[in-house]
Amino acid sequence: MAEITAALVKDLREKSGVGMMDCKNALQETGGDMEAAMELLRKKGLSKAEKKSGRAAAEGLVAGKVSADGKTGALIELNAETDFVGKNDTFQGAARDIAEVALTSEGVEAIAAAKTAKGEVVSDVVTGMIATIGENMRLRRSARLSVSQGSVSLYLHNAQGDGVGRLGVIVALEGAGDQATLKEVGRKIALHVAGTPTPPLALSPDDLDPAAVEKEKKFLTDQAVESGKPIGVVEKMIEGRIRKWQEEVVLLKQPFVMNPDQTIEQLVAETAKQTGSPVSLKGFVRFALGEGVEKAESPDFAAEVASLSGQS
């Protein structure tokens, strides 16, 4: 029987993503056989997968993919309970595979029922990882943008590996001009969307959610009324402030982060002149990992490793 060292447990932990104590127990049950321990963890985990479905999952990865012709792009968010799992090769590979599925299947339900390029049903892939890794996971959301002519560009911020990160943006530029130019400009706009201090809420003022506009109006009105100004003055103030707010939160009106003297709308117009053909910004999608999801506390894996040091 092989000695169950902390290094061996750590190796299984890195390969499987499962907790340290579970890895140690699996190795003890299989006499230190790494492959047998992996299979044991998988079998044990499948029976527990359903029980984990109610646990908060706000970590994981955002994965993005652009089609070979550059005309379709997709983003998906695949959640797990801890940030450690986002560094797991199996989890990253699954996220990439699911993003590729999202190029041709729209919506979480359709993607979950579809097969990856490896012939595996996406929902089965996720369930299998829950079983093996031992954390709740879910395909939370997806988005896809396409153009008939032009380019869809992808930018992944805080990349954790090829095609995966903690924040992803896709941008669709429609146009018949030079595709390489459109792709590069689209990537710059995607970088802007990822990095601007005020993430855009919509493409243009007309695209803003009416509920968001009303919420902002109420906030500004309450603020102005508290200052003691007459209602007639307040109404005029609000009209101007709402216009200013819209310019701050719609993408086309925002100052370009790489050139604050130029708006995104002006950048698109400049690109049209450069390519000699009309260009329009058709849409954008921004996924930040875990936004709007209740965060769960991460286990202290360093403490787990330390507790196992010197044990056999």
pLDDT 10s digits, 299-308: 444 444 444 4
Q: Tell which CATH classification among 2.40.40.20, 3.30.479.20, 1.20.272.10, 3.40.50.1980 matches the domain 59-203+251-288.
A: 3.30.479.20
pLDDT 10s digits, 15-52: 766 667 878 888 899 998 888 888 887 666 644 544 55
Spatial CA neighbour of 25 closest among 173, 172, 134, 153: 134
What are the two backbone dihedrals, phi and then psi, of residue 166, each rounded to the nearest 5 degrees? -100, -10
Which fold, 6-55+296-308?
A: Helicase, Ruva Protein; domain 3 (1.10.8)
Domain with CATH 3.30.479.20 in the chain: 59-203+251-288
Cα–Cα distance for residue pair 136/58, rounded to 1 Å: 10
Say if residue 225's pLDDT is above 70.
Answer: yes
Spatial CA neighbour of 280 closest among 294, 292, 261, 265: 265
Spatial CA neighbour of 16 closest among 39, 49, 50: 39
Can you read off the two tokens belonging to residue 273? 């002149």
Which fold, 209-249?
A: GTP Cyclohydrolase I; Chain A, domain 1 (1.10.286)
Domain with CATH 1.10.8.10 in the chain: 6-55+296-308
SS3 187: helix
pTM, two decimals, is: 0.76
**What's the pLDDT score for residue 40?**
81
